[in-house]
Amino acid sequence: MTTTSERVSEALTQQVSKRVSQSVFDGSRLRVVLLVDVYDGAQQQFLEAYEQLCNQVASVPGHVSDQLCQSIENPSQWLITSEWESAPPFLAWVNSEEHVRMVEPLHSCVRDTRSLRFHIVRETGGEAAAGAKGGRRRLQASPRIGDGVLRHALTFTVKPGSEPQVAKILADYASPEARVDDTTRLCRTSLFMHGNRVVRAIEVRGDLLTALRHVARQPEVRAVEEAINPYLEQERDLNDQESARVFFTRAALPAVHHVTADELPEGERLALYYPARAGQGMRLAELLAQHDEAAAEDPKCPVLRSTIFQRDDVVVRLVDVRAGLGADPGVPYSGPADELKPLLDAEAVRMALITDRRSPDA
């Protein structure tokens, strides 16, 4: 019997549309590539830490296999590849506190890492043939068409009662240099708050990791981060690499779905916060993605673009709506109430816009 999730996945993969630039919900297999730079002399320590981690990952739902490789040219360079049944179970694990604890033994022997995630589109060989006969290996049916923009967000909470001070600090900061290098530039940064929760959404052309590192080094941004430090619920020390790494790992709010309407006029930017019930964040994000896909086909829909960010039970939907619709543009919550309500811990709310800045020539 075909499940609702499979029907959603088929609907997302069967269409070849310039509207869709990103989605983790097509149901196809996921290949994760982790590039690792190990400290000189720490190779054996890294291997032992990996073997311990590998045994733990093997029991994670959705995990299929993994492989560890070492460079034949530089012994400090390693490559870890893993395969997952689909993107959602991997994201649920990699964004969990369990994952934060699992990878701790690696920190003392690893200089740098870079994670890349890919849906499998085509494959050849024995495993592919066996999978095809068994009908169990799902591949991405059609290539997606992107718009060249990478989207990411951070979310964190501040101490109750400090919201006015934090909002002022975040609204008054000086924008960093938009140009990162010849191929990467910052396009837009949008900051929102609801209660004591802050969401910072960024858009980048080029390499996201390079852009994030560039922003973190800018004195304007560093000053803002230091200014809000006393108000954070989760303490951090930006001068301590491990403290900063753990904070930003927990604050990461990945984009799991994006859809853009055919027309691209200027619009008003809004953010909707969906507090999901425990364990229902990914399912809620998938349902919102399904309804955003349907809405993109309706020329009367006020939404021009919609990006869904999700981590654990925090779901945020960033939308651009047609200009001139007033304070209440009538943006739908993207789904019938009877479908969303069982997944929500409280009603979805519109977040307060703190600042929205476009870079020149973005």
Q: What does the pLDDT look like over 198-224, one tens digit per residue?
A: 999 999 998 888 888 888 888 888 899
In tens, the pLDDT along 24-51 reads 998 899 999 999 999 999 999 999 999 9
Give dist(CA 243, CA 100) in Å, integer. 12
**pLDDT tops 70 at residue 17:** no
- Classify 142 as helix, strand or coil: coil
H/E element, 113: strand 110-119
**pLDDT tops 70 at residue 265:** no
In tens, the pLDDT along 162-199 reads 999 999 999 988 888 888 888 899 999 999 999 999 99
In tens, the pLDDT along 66-123 reads 999 999 999 999 999 999 999 999 999 998 888 888 888 888 899 989 999 999 998 8
- Provide the 10 A C-beta neighbour count for residue 3: 9
Q: What is the mean pLDDT of residues 112-135?
A: 73
Domains of the chain, earliest start first: 28-130 (3.30.70.100), 150-358 (3.30.70.1090)
Give dist(CA 250, CA 96) in Å, integer. 8
Per the listing, tokens 């501040």 go with 158
pLDDT of residue 16: 43
b/e 24-61 (16+ beta carbons within 10 angstroms → b): bbbbbbbbbebebebeeebeebbeebbeebeeeeeebe
Q: 144 or 91: which carries more pLDDT confidence?
A: 91
Query: Which of 350, 315, 308, 358 is CA-nearest to residue 152?
Result: 308
In tens, the pLDDT along 149-158 reads 889 999 999 9
pLDDT of residue 278: 93
In tens, the pLDDT along 310-355 reads 999 999 999 988 776 554 545 666 666 778 889 999 888 999 999 9
Per the listing, tokens 């964040």 go with 281
Phi and psi torsions of 296, nearest 5°: -65, -20
